[in-house]
């Protein structure tokens, strides 16, 4: 089954709003086993939207539109869809009651006349309840094709899709689609793809697809079967083979678990506490860790020591070390890690010091040079990195690799 996404709104074309809806819907369709071959962004213009919709219906089984369901005159999505499908707009009594209830529970109890427009749907279509706003979603069937209209605000669209639209689309499929994600860290996308080249070349059902992000590669195994249990049986041997090939580089097979969550779980499991000592990353490593609910059980302190004086005062880095080797050096990274662990009174400390640029680099110490130290059980291990890219990219790479370094040190200590 093929789906096409149409995002409606002039503000998207102008770049005033980032189109996160399309990203979310594309990913969700992939999880459902639905192929998305085309995506479009159309401004609030009836003629251009009509033309885009007609083209989408000519080549796709399902067309999903987001935006343009509001109460104002420039919200034209359902009016345009109704015209293309040759239907009249009619009031949906259930949606009208929900709009009344929505305003009854707000401090603005007077309902503007234009809000009643949101209770209008194309004749014969199905209204989908919106638990977070006044615009219902709409499902319209037409000549074997399906048009789905969703509200534009992500806090309305995402819950509606998850609760109502995803199950509807799943029912359209003749088979169950089931996926498992294998999350890998510490290996590049090219190497990972090389290591699974034979699996990709020989795949049919299930399939393996790589998705790369900074410092990580996610492998999604997807199987089609008559039921979930049969799909899982198809996935199981592939998952076992990936575990054999990538070993400890796999940090999770839970689609929702992040790298920092897996590290927090590992720290709790091993009864270890952690601190961070950061320079060029400016607290971003500790920021990732405190994303995890309950991390206070293991995370004790974060030191941001950007200036040399701060490294000496708060982490005990010696002035002699700084004079002899500089702030960006193996020796300073080691002393930062030891000092952070000592000051925080914890088992483990990760330190980061580097040159994020765009200035400050030399032939000996170029922009992108980063040293990291990891203190654990009285021992400090230091790693050297040279990252490429702008200041933001260098810092992003440093943060992810610091987390991976922490994980590696814990696993090596266990072994």
Q: Which of 45, 42, 94 is nearest to 63 (CA)?
A: 42
The CATH number of residue 396's host domain is: 3.90.950.20
- Which pLDDT value is given to residue 110? 74
- Which pLDDT value is given to residue 171? 87
3 state SS of 385: strand
The CATH number of residue 226's host domain is: 3.30.70.2860
Residue 168: both structure tokens together = 């509807």
The CATH number of residue 21's host domain is: 3.40.980.10
Residues 276 and 286: their CA atoms lie apart, in Å, by: 6
Residue that finishes a domain, picked among 252, 277, 297: 252
The one-digit pLDDT tens for each residue of the chain (415 residues) are 899 999 999 999 999 999 999 999 998 998 787 889 999 999 999 999 999 999 999 999 999 999 999 898 889 999 999 999 999 999 999 999 998 888 886 666 677 878 889 999 999 999 999 999 899 999 999 999 999 999 999 999 999 999 999 999 988 877 778 889 999 999 999 999 999 999 988 888 999 989 899 999 999 999 988 888 999 999 999 999 999 999 999 999 998 999 999 999 999 999 999 999 999 999 999 999 999 999 999 999 999 999 999 999 999 999 999 999 999 999 999 999 999 999 999 999 999 999 999 999 999 999 999 999 999 999 999 999 999 999 999 999 999 999 999 999 999 986 6
Task: Specify whether 274 is located in the same domain as 358.
Answer: yes
- Which pLDDT value is given to residue 192? 96
- Which pLDDT value is given to residue 103? 84
Task: Specify whether 8 is located in the same domain as 151.
Answer: yes
Instruction: Report the first-to-last Cα separation within the chain, whole angstroms.
Output: 47
- Which pLDDT value is given to residue 99? 87
Task: Specify whether 359 is located in the same domain as 342.
Answer: yes
Task: Specify whether 24 is located in the same domain as 79.
Answer: yes
The answer to whether 384 and 371 are in contact (CB under 8 A) is yes
Residue 135 CA: distances (Å) to CA of 66, 68, 217, 256: 11, 10, 38, 29
Task: Specify whether 165 is located in the same domain as 188.
Answer: no
Task: Specify whether 118 is located in the same domain as 233.
Answer: no
Residue 313 CA: distances (Å) to CA of 283, 307, 319, 326, 341: 17, 10, 10, 16, 14
Range of the domain at 186: 176-252
Residues 128 and 88: their CA atoms lie apart, in Å, by: 18
| Strand-pair partners of 121 | 90
CA dihedral of residues 294, 300, 302, 305 (deg, nearest 10)? 180
- Which pLDDT value is given to residue 414? 64
Task: Specify whether 410 is located in the same domain as 394.
Answer: yes
User: 40: alpha, beta or left, given left = phi > 0 and alpha = psi -120 to 50?
Assistant: beta
- What is the count of structural domains for the chain? 3
Quick check: bond before 141 cis, omega within 30? no
Length of the chain: 415
Task: Specify whether 320 is located in the same domain as 373.
Answer: yes
- Which pLDDT value is given to residue 107? 64
Task: Specify whether 114 is located in the same domain as 248.
Answer: no
Residue that finishes a domain, picked among 172, 199, 220: 172
- Which pLDDT value is given to residue 73? 85
Task: Specify whether 162 is located in the same domain as 193.
Answer: no
Task: Specify whether 224 is located in the same domain as 326.
Answer: no
- Which pLDDT value is given to residue 101? 86
Task: Specify whether 166 is located in the same domain as 232.
Answer: no
Residue that finishes a domain, picked among 223, 252, 281: 252
């Amino acid at each position: 089954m093929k789906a096409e996404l149409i995002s409606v709104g002039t503000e998207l074309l102008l770049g005033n709003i980032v189109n996160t809806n399309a990203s979310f819907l594309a990913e969700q369709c992939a999880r459902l086993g639905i192929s998305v071959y085309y995506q479009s962004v159309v401004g609030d213009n009836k003629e251009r939207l009509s033309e885009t919709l007609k083209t989408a219906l000519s080549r796709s089984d399902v067309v999903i539109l987001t935006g343009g369901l509001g109460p104002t005159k420039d919200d034209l999505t359902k009016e345009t869809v109704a015209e293309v499908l040759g239907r009249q707009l009619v009031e949906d009594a259930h949606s009208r009651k929900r709009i009344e209830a929505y305003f009854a529970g707000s401090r603005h109890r007077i309902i503007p006349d234009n809000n009643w427009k949101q209770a209008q749907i194309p004749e014969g279509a199905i209204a989908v309840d919106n638990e977070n706003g006044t615009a219902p979603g709409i499902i319209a069937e037409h000549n074997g094709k399906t048009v789905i209209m969703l509200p534009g605000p992500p806090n309305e669209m995402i819950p509606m899709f998850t609760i109502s639209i995803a199950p509807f689309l799943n029912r359209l499929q003749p088979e169950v689609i089931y996926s498992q994600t294998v999350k890998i860290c510490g290996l590049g996308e090219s190497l990972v793809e090389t290591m699974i080249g034979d699996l990709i070349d020989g795949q049919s059902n299930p399939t393996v697809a790589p998705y790369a992000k900074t410092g990580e590669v996610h492998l999604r195994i997807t199987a089609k079967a008559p039921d979930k249990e049969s799909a899982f049986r198809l996935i199981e041997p592939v998952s076992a083979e990936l575990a054999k090939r990538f070993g400890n580089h796999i940090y999770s097979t839970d689609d929702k678990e992040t790298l920092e969550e897996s590290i927090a779980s590992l720290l709790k499991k091993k009864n270890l506490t952690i601190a961070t000592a950061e320079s060029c990353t400016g607290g971003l490593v500790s920021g990732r860790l405190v994303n995890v609910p309950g991390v206070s059980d293991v995370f004790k302190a974060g030191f941001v020591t950007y200036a040399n004086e701060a490294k000496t005062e708060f982490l005990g880095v010696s002035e002699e070390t700084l004079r002899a080797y500089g702030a960006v050096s193996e020796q300073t990274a080691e002393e930062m890690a030891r000092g952070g662990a000592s000051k925080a009174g914890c088992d483990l400390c990760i330190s980061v010091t580097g040159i994020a640029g765009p200035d400050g680099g030399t032939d000996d110490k170029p922009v992108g040079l980063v040293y990291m130290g990891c203190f654990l059980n009285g021992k400090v291990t230091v790693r050297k990195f040279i990252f490429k890219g702008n200041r933001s990219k260098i810092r992003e790479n440093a943060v992810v690799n610091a987390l991976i370094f922490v994980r590696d040190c814990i696993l090596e200590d266990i072994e």
